[in-house]
Structure 1
């Protein structure tokens, strides 16, 4: 790392995993690269737990960011935007800024509006769990996963170097994407899957029959898993990536309508073709994504 003082704002699953990974990377690096780690979080229990990995812990944003070389924003998306809007007053001298938000357009626009003495880049690690909070954080969360970086008008060559080194220290693989393209892509592979899982879970729960759960097996478990994701986080994601999410919901509904029509018509030939093409697409995906 080319920075000496890092402040992580929000010590949930992502921020906590990043802090743990940085501490592990520091211990394992030869020669060791010392840095000062500050944690800002509003939850007193999280702050108490953070004492074992941080040099300074606070619930005061202004106090936490005042000396940081790099600020990492790891809160829900709309909170990230709010903090970015506060930074010019809190840090009139400027600093480096990275975020971990799951939608990027609103965040990157807020970064564009920062004064010239700030250097800022959007970030989104493509990993996670259906459970939230620092208690679920692990230092290997990012390892071997894609970490998307979205340049902004405040991204400099120096910050690009720092960000790529940080991603490498986390064991992740950097991928640079424009913010709009990022949001369109994650609507397909992240935000829509949540909506599908949520609808599936609500559909099953609506039967109101406790005998259903013993009947369910791995297919239901795996498909419904992400419906357990933190609602606060998903609320911000869905409202800040609304256009892309709605487009993908409409496309998904069209796909369901097409296959429903084939079933209704007892069109065995076309239904078999639909199922076969789907299987082929799945195995092409598995071949491309060899780490799953």
Structure 2
């Protein structure tokens, strides 16, 4: 990755533009030309902000770029793969989606042996805000990036993708795609679904009163309900097997808590709450002693 390369972004939102900013900041001579495409007006915003130099079509991107970042919503990324030319040996294609198994299947189906040049990636970083105006060159600093290659993925491409993220000061990890989807359904997808459901349900039943009479708890817990609805719809549709199991387990836990409340079983209610508090406090104390709760 020493010679200058053309970087391409398909889906010029906050995630991809932050990656472009970080790469340009840390290796200014490596990517002198960044091109981009988006179905909406974010591409023009990204160009005005200087995050990309040129707006191109998807076909132009696949013919001109050395590194291609798929950063559109998940189902759109899969559609792009199904209609785009297969990557060439000199090209690296990565994505930044929150579900890995489905897009890997699509890449193998349509790109066949050329899918070896595709390295699925998931940056465990982001905000509930969207759009290039929220891009931040420091977004990936000290954040975890999960790569989910399989035995068919080209080792040189895995190394290239790893170096790309390390250039952004990120911490790279490797995981099986199905394991990734199962873990993220619990650590990320479920919390988002709960936030969306709580806000939508209470607002539809009670209107603005649910916000007017809330303290910081509702606001803090449902912050992520401000995330992109299209992106999270695609995540739900792309990870149904893991989410079905995760939602089932959560509903069992919630039903158990409801039963304890009905029985006025304060001892076991408090026991659940204490387990939760201790687990959370210990985790964040170990992760960052200076900023533990």
- TM-score surpassing 0.5? yes
SS in 2 for 1:260: helix
SS in 2 for 1:206: helix
Mapped partners of 1:76, 1:2: distance in 2: 31
With over 3 angstroms needed to count, the CA separation of the structure-2 counterparts of 1:122 and 1:2, relative to structure 1, is: farther
Q: What is the 5 A alignment of 1:276-287?
A: 276-287=274-285
Residue 129 of structure 1 pairs with residue 130 of structure 2: no
With over 3 angstroms needed to count, the CA separation of the structure-2 counterparts of 1:41 and 1:154, relative to structure 1, is: farther
Give the structure 1 partner of residue 33 of structure 2.
Answer: 36
CA contact (8 A) 2:69 2:94 kept: yes
Deviations 1:196-234 (A, max 9, x none): 111211232134354442321211111111111111111
1:72 to 62, 69, 72: 69
1:98 to 71, 94, 97: 94
Deviations 1:55-109 (A, max 9, x none): 3222x110122121211111111111122223336x5666221111111001112
Structure 1 window deviating more from structure 2 (240-249 vs 78-87): it is 78-87
SS in 2 for 1:116: helix
Show structure 2 runs of 5+ residues with no match.
none
Give the structure 1 partner of residue 140 of structure 2.
Answer: 142
Give the structure 1 partner of residue 196 of structure 2.
Answer: 198
Structure 1 window deviating more from structure 2 (191-200 vs 137-146): it is 137-146
Per the normalisation by structure 2, the TM-score is: 0.89
SS in 1 for 2:12: coil
CA contact (8 A) 2:9 2:69 kept: yes
Residue 107 of structure 1 pairs with residue 100 of structure 2: no
Give the structure 1 partner of residue 17 of structure 2.
Answer: 16
Give the structure 2 partner of residue 166 of structure 1.
Answer: 164
Displacement of 1:48 in angstroms is 4.7
Structure 1 window deviating more from structure 2 (207-216 vs 233-242): it is 207-216
CA contact (8 A) 1:122 1:152 kept: no
Mapped partners of 1:34, 1:205: distance in 2: 46
Give the structure 1 partner of residue 6 of structure 2.
Answer: 5
Displacement of 1:239 in angstroms is 0.4
With over 3 angstroms needed to count, the CA separation of the structure-2 counterparts of 1:93 and 1:282, relative to structure 1, is: closer
**Equivalent pairs, count:** 286
SS in 2 for 1:151: coil
Give the structure 2 partner of residue 81 of structure 1.
Answer: 78
Mapped partners of 1:257, 1:164: distance in 2: 43
Q: CA RMSD in A?
A: 2.1
Deviations 1:132-169 (A, max 9, x none): 11122211122221111010354222112111111111
CA contact (8 A) 1:2 1:162 kept: no
Mapped partners of 2:41, 2:195: distance in 1: 32
Deviations 1:102-133 (A, max 9, x none): 11001112233424345111001111211211
CA contact (8 A) 2:92 2:118 kept: yes
With over 3 angstroms needed to count, the CA separation of the structure-2 counterparts of 1:219 and 1:97, relative to structure 1, is: same
Show structure 1 runs of 5+ residues with no match.
none
Give the structure 2 partner of residue 26 of structure 1.
Answer: 27
